[in-house]
Structure 1
Amino acid sequence: MTHATLATLSPPAKTASRTPADQALSIIQSAFEQDPPVRWLYPSDADYQRYFPDFAAALGAPAFTEGTLALNAAAAALWVQPGSEPDEAALGALIERSIPAHRQADVFAVIEEMGAHHPEEPHWYLPVLGTHPEMQGRGHGAALLRPVLEVCDRTGVSAYLEATTERNRALYARHGFEATAEIRVADCPPLTAMVRSPR
Structure 2
Amino acid sequence: MCIPEVSVAQAADRTELIDTLVLGFAADPIARWVLPETHTYLTCMGAFFDGFGGRAFNHQSAFVANSGQGVALWLPPDVEPDEEAMDAALENHIAPELGKDFAMMMKQMGHYHPDEPHWYLPVIAADPQYFGCGLGGELMKHALRRVDEDRLPAYLESSNPRNISLYERHGFEVVGEIQVGKSPVMTPMIRAAR
TM normalised by structure 1 equals: 0.87
Return the alpha-carbon distance in structure 1 between the equivalents of residues 18 and 97 of structure 2.
28
Q: Does 1:48 align with 2:49?
A: no
SS of match in other structure, 1:194: strand
- Structure 1 counterpart of 2:9, which letter? T
Q: Residue 71 of structure 1: SS of its match in structure 2?
A: strand
Q: In the alignment, what sits opposite 1:186? A: 181
Kindly report the root-mean-square deviation, in angstroms, between the aligned alpha carbons of the 2 structures: 1.8
Question: Is 1:35 paired with 2:35?
Answer: no
**CA displacement, residues 35-63 of structure 1 (integer Å, 9 cap, x when unaligned):** 11110010000101100111111110311
Gaps of 5+ in 2: 1-5
Cα offset for 1:6? 5.1
Matched, 1:79 2:74: yes
Would the alpha carbon gap of residues 163 and 52 (structure 1) be closer, same or farther in structure 2, given more than 3 Å must change? same
Identity of aligned residues (%): 34
How many residue pairs end up in the alignment? 187
SS at match of 2:40: helix
**Bigger CA drift: 155-164 or 134-143?**
134-143
Separation in 2, partners of 1:8, 1:57: 14
Q: TM-score, normalised by structure 2?
A: 0.90
Structure 1 residue runs of 4 or more that deviate by more than 4 Å after TM superposition: none
* 1:108-137 CA distance string (max 9 Å, x none): 111111111101111100010001112112
Residues 88-113 of structure 1: CA deviation (Å, up to 9, x unaligned): 11122233232133322111111111
> Mean alpha-carbon deviation: is it higher for 93-102 or for 55-64?
93-102
Paired with 2:26 and 2:100, the residues of 1 have a C-alpha distance of: 23
| Runs of at least 5 residues in structure 1 that lack an aligned partner in the other structure | 10-17
Conserved 8 A contact 1:182-1:192: yes
